[in-house]
Amino acid sequence: MIPLDLPAFSAEQKEFSDQFVERLRAEVLAHGPIPFSEYMQRSLYDTEFGYYVNGFSKLGADGDFVTAPEISNHFAACLAAQCCQVFSALSAQGLSSSVLEFGAGSGKLAADLLLALEKADALPERYFILDVSSDLQQLQAQSLKDALSADIFERIHWLSSLPENYNGVVIANEVLDAFAVERFKIANGVAERAMVAAGPEGFVWQFESHQATAKSVGSIASDLDADFSEGYQSEYCPMLAPWWQALSEMINHGAVIVCDYGAERRRYYSPKASDGTLRCFYRHTVHGDPFARPAVQDITADVDFTAVAIAATEAGLELQGFTPMSQFMLSLGVLERHENTIQSLEERDQIVATSDLKRVILPQEMGDRFMVIGFSKGLEVALDGFSKADWSRLL
Ligand SMILES: C[S@@+](CC[C@H](N)C(=O)[O-])C[C@H]1O[C@@H](n2cnc3c(N)ncnc32)[C@H](O)[C@@H]1O
């Protein structure tokens, strides 16, 4: 894919990105091309330069992208309703509940969720945040301190590894699409692995035969009962199985809600999607060149929710449902809450609130491109979020 005209590169960001490229390029020149998964891992998580580790703005107007919780608090209110149902089921089993949020971004979802749970008189015992970014952890701590009372703030704990014997709800919103993926291309009927080599300046693609890649892509094709066409390119995520295994081992009783851009396998690997789902975000411009602004642009790949369902259920979790975010929110009463809220607003604020709602639930906005999948373990209820529409049969 040819990169679009990208917004201006600040001198500071250019120098930072150039330093990262220089260092990684020297390694590649010395030791040979690296798999794309390693390139993505280094670009996002390198301990010195990685996108999620460095201090440049990521979320919001002066960052690179906007997420659902940043647009409005509808999403948090729906998640709060879902948490209430799980908390009360666990309480009936004599258990108290916590929330564990992966990748909390600016802390906006945590703040809105905790405020909604306070209003429902259903605060969790503890609210854990596990985020790879120490820079974002600081931002979260500040914004949560400003938004919450001291009593609620004290319930929040930042973790660097998973807790044990966990009861409650686990949330990951727009986190799995940042997991490093392998990229492949079909050549002579076989999937070759995408490698990153040093070009005259930055990096260039190279493809090589690789047994494990051919095997993984072969198993996706046989699952779909279809062959990929010559030249077809896409991605798969090898990190899913260990992540779900660790999560399942952690949970005694509770639910996991994962929300992200993606699709079930048949849609994800449709013949039309022959260039894959890799996307980069720089100052709200979306493009397809992961070598354009290394370490200062976000790199994401959509989530294959069938792969998620396989990894999670093989790890011992029970699939509860799979649905577009719009349906998840409708099942959890977003319209009823909106009606109640706007009654007390001035007309101008009503218009703003309605337009924010449309951005998160209308299909052409993020509503039907953004999916929610839910799992449970040791929980005796069916999650409300999947009560109006469950597309699990497509997985
Ligand atoms: C796209 S942002 C989403 C932020 C937030 N969930 C929201 O919806 O606004 C991704 C977040 O996940 C964190 N993150 C990225 N990879 C992660 C990983 N492997 N484990 C935990 N957090 C991660 C990032 O630091 C960032 O806070």
Q: Cβ–Cβ contacts within 10 Å for residue 362, how many?
A: 12
Q: Which atom of ligand 1 is nearest to the CA of 300?
A: 1
Distance 45 CA to ligand 1 centre (A): 11
Give the three-state DSSP class for 251: strand
> How far is it, in rounded angstroms, from Cα 288 to Cα 355?
29
Q: Are 290 and 39 in contact (CB under 8 A)?
A: yes
Q: Is the CB of 102 within 6 Å of ligand 1?
A: yes
Work out the end-to-end distance of the chain between its first and last CA atoms, rounded to an integer number of angstroms. Answer: 29
Whether the pLDDT of residue 128 is over 80: the answer is yes
Asked if residue 82 is part of any domain, the answer here is yes
As a whole number of angstroms, the distance between CA 71 and CA 105 comes to 13
pLDDT of amino acid 318: 98
Bridge partners, 371 (sequence order): 260, 324
- Contact yes or no for 65/104 (Cβ under 8 A): no
Question: What would the mean pLDDT of 320-346 be, rounded to a whole number?
Answer: 91
The residue whose CB lies within 8 Å of the most ligand 1 atoms, and thus the one to mutate among 99, 132, 303, is 132
226 part of a folded domain:
no
Dist CA 362 CA 338 (whole Å): 14
The answer to whether residue 352 sits within a structural domain is yes
Averaged over 348-358, what is the pLDDT?
Answer: 85
Q: Does residue 178 line the site of ligand 1, with CB under 6 A?
A: yes
Our answer on whether the CB atom of 259 is closer than 6 Å to any ligand 1 atom is: no
Residue 373 β-bridge partners = 258, 322
Q: How many domains does the chain have?
A: 1
Going by CA atoms, what residue is nearest to atom 5 of ligand 1? Answer: 105
Q: What percent of the chain stands above pLDDT 90?
A: 81
CB atoms within 10 A of CB 222: 10
In angstroms, what is the span from residue 280 Cα to ligand 1's centroid?
15
Would the CA dihedral through 355, 333, 85, 367 be positive or negative? Answer: negative
Domain presence at residue 379: yes
d(CA 267, CA 263): 6
**H or E element that contains 254:** strand 251-263
Cβ 217 vs Cβ 189: under 8 Å = no
Give the H or E element holding residue 374: strand 370-377
- Give the contacts of 65 (CB within 8 A, at least 6 positions apart): 58, 59, 281, 284, 298
Ligand 1 center to residue 106 CA distance, Å? 9
Mean pLDDT of 113-137: 96
Ordered alpha helix ranges (H), the chain: 11-31, 36-45, 68-71, 74-92, 108-119, 134-147, 150-153, 211-224, 240-250, 265-268, 305-314, 325-331, 334-342, 347-361
**What tokens does 308 get?**
């998620």
174 lines ligand 1 (CB under 6 A): yes
Amino acid identity of residue 190, one-letter, is V
Mean pLDDT score across all residues of the chain: 93
Cβ 144 under 6 angstroms from ligand 1: no
- Ligand 1 centroid, distance to 243 Cα (angstroms): 14
Q: Is 317 in the pocket of ligand 1 (CB under 6 A)?
A: no
Rounded to the nearest whole angstrom, what is the distance from the C-alpha of residue 186 to the centroid of ligand 1? 31
pLDDT at position 113 over 60: yes
Instruction: With respect to residue 105, please indicate whether it lies within any of the assigned structural domains.
Output: yes
Residue 17 has pLDDT above 80, yes or no: yes
Residue 174 Cα to ligand 1 middle (Å):
6
Task: Determine, yes or no, domain membership for 63.
Answer: no
63 lines ligand 1 (CB under 6 A): no
Residues 97, 203: Cα–Cα separation, whole Å: 47
Over residues 327-342, mean pLDDT: 91
Task: Using alpha carbons, select from 113, 130, 114 the residue that is nearest to residue 166.
Answer: 130
Q: Which of 175, 259, 282, 303 to mutate to test the pocket of ligand 1 (most atoms within 8 A of CB)?
A: 175
Does residue 109's CB lie within 6 angstroms of at least one atom of ligand 1? yes
CA 203 to chain centre: 26
Q: Is the distance from the beta carbon of residue 374 to the nearest atom of ligand 1 less than 6 Å?
A: no
Q: Show the tokens assigned to 313.
A: 């259920």
Is the CB of residue 328 less than 8 Å from the CB of residue 78? yes
Domain span at residue 118 reads 68-171+240-249+315-385
- Measuring CA to CA, how many Å separate 238 from each of 138, 163, 186, 257? 30, 23, 18, 20
Task: Supply the residue whose CA is at minimum distance from atom 11 of ligand 1.
Answer: 103
Angle at 314 between CA 173 and CA 169, to 5 degrees: 35
What share of the chain in percent tops pLDDT 70?
97
Does ligand 1 have an atom closer than 6 angstroms to the CB of 131? yes
Residue 155 C-alpha to ligand 1 middle, in angstroms?
20
Q: Is residue 391 part of a domain?
A: no
pLDDT value at 2 more than 60: no
In the structure, what pLDDT confidence band is assigned to residue 1 with cuts at 50, 70 and 90? Answer: very low
Evaluate: CB of 70 within 6 angstroms of ligand 1: yes
| Contact between 329 and 361 (Cβ < 8 Å) | yes
pLDDT digits 0-9 by tens, 141-197: 999 999 999 999 999 999 999 999 999 999 999 999 999 999 999 999 999 999 999
Residue 47 lies in a domain: no
Q: State the CATH number of the domain containing residue 140.
A: 3.40.50.12710
